[in-house]
Amino acid sequence: MRLTGVAEATSFLLVIFLPSLIAKASSIEQIKDKKAFEKTIRTRTNVLVLFKKSPKDAPASLLQTLEKVADQLKGTALIAQVDCSSPDAQKVCKKEKADTGAYILRHYQKGEFHKVYDRPENLKTFLSFLKDPTAEAPWEDDPTSKDVLHIEDSKQLRTFLSSEKKPTLLMFYAPWCGHCMRLKPGYSAAATELKNEAVLVAMDVNKPHNNDVREAFNITGFPTLYYFRDGKFQYPFGGERSHQGIVSWMRKPTPPTRMPEVELPPQDVPMPEHHEEL
């Protein structure tokens, strides 16, 4: 009876604690040699490979993030890693020019090298990149735009406008817009120069979930720049679309004397038809 009781207690403890003692299998594929690497690149169409100089050279935080990426994009993209300190993998690392630093991320698409991954190493950006590796990098991933406040949706915009007291310039843009692309460097530079005086905001309203914002502000062309004070709309931007033009105007804002040049959306992008309160 005593043995039976011990066995039952042991079984109970195993049921409770065993799952936590068993490490979860990694979702990152381990590539150990040239043959395995070539097979992976040949048979998978969307692969991000982490090449490490040694097992300890990649930050633990990066590996944890890549595990999450691999889990969320299973069946869409593959995350793999190569330990360049392994004799069997050294040929791969040398051939792929991945043996010069502590670690490097290289992307392969449809059996060929695509590019070195050069965007921020966070979950959101990895997911965005691997869902469409050939797309233009989002503006918020550009390190020169660190002083621009990038707003994702109408909820975040409402929260910002309800609490911000500094003078604010809000740029509504679309990734395909040529005028917007030309303005971005100057807008980012102005945001840095004015960061103690004003807030420069950017919002991609080409995203379907931001159609309500396009309608609320009656945005029919890009870029559209609006000036706010104490969270309330005042009038459209009326200065020159350049770094110094934005800085000068924000320090002495006045309504525009003429309508700025805008780029109309392509025909396949829905246009707002009426004005509503946001």
CA dihedral (116, 204, 193, 246) positive or negative = positive
219-255: b (≥16 Cβ within 10 Å) or e: bebbbbbbbbeeeeeeeebbbebbbeebbebbeebee
pLDDT tens by residue, 238-271: 999 999 999 999 999 999 987 655 555 554 444 3
Domain 140-251: state its class.
alpha beta
Report the topology of domain 29-133.
Glutaredoxin (3.40.30)
pLDDT tens by residue, 139-151: 999 989 999 999 9
Q: Kindly report which listed range (1-5, 66-70, 152-156, 157-161) carries the lowest average pLDDT score.
A: 1-5
Q: Where in the chain is the domain with CATH 3.40.30.10?
A: 29-133, 140-251
> Mean per-residue pLDDT for 153-182?
95
Ranges of H-type helices in 97-139: 123-131
pTM, two decimal places: 0.71
